[in-house]
Amino acid sequence: MLRTPTDETRLRILAWLKEPGPAADGVTTDAVAERFSMPHPVAVTHLRLLQATGMLRTSRSEGRVHYHRDEMRIAEVARMFEKGW
């Protein structure tokens, strides 16, 4: 789910969310769509998949949903892959 043979967009989104600005404030769907030059519905799909796997958590600010990395879940998944899962 994180990586497909032709597209690593979800991994790029997770990497971007680790940068200081996005990490501190989270990002909206609009920001993801703009950053990665994709239609809004595509950004929604990527973010929802990452949220469904527990890689992202959400918060609300000014009526908008902001997405943030869930570092504990990401570390947990990384350990599973290291163990050959």
pLDDT digits (tens, 9 = 90+) for 8-36: 899 899 999 999 988 888 999 999 999 99
Beta strands in 13-83 (DSSP E): 56-61, 64-69
Mean pLDDT of the chain: 89
The pLDDT tens digits for 58-82 are 999 889 999 999 999 989 988 887 8
- Contacts made by residues 42-48, CB under 8 angstroms, sequence distance 24+: 46/9, 46/10, 46/13, 47/13
d(CA 57, CA 61): 13
pTM of the complete model: 0.83
Do 30 and 63 contact (CB within 8 A), yes or no? no
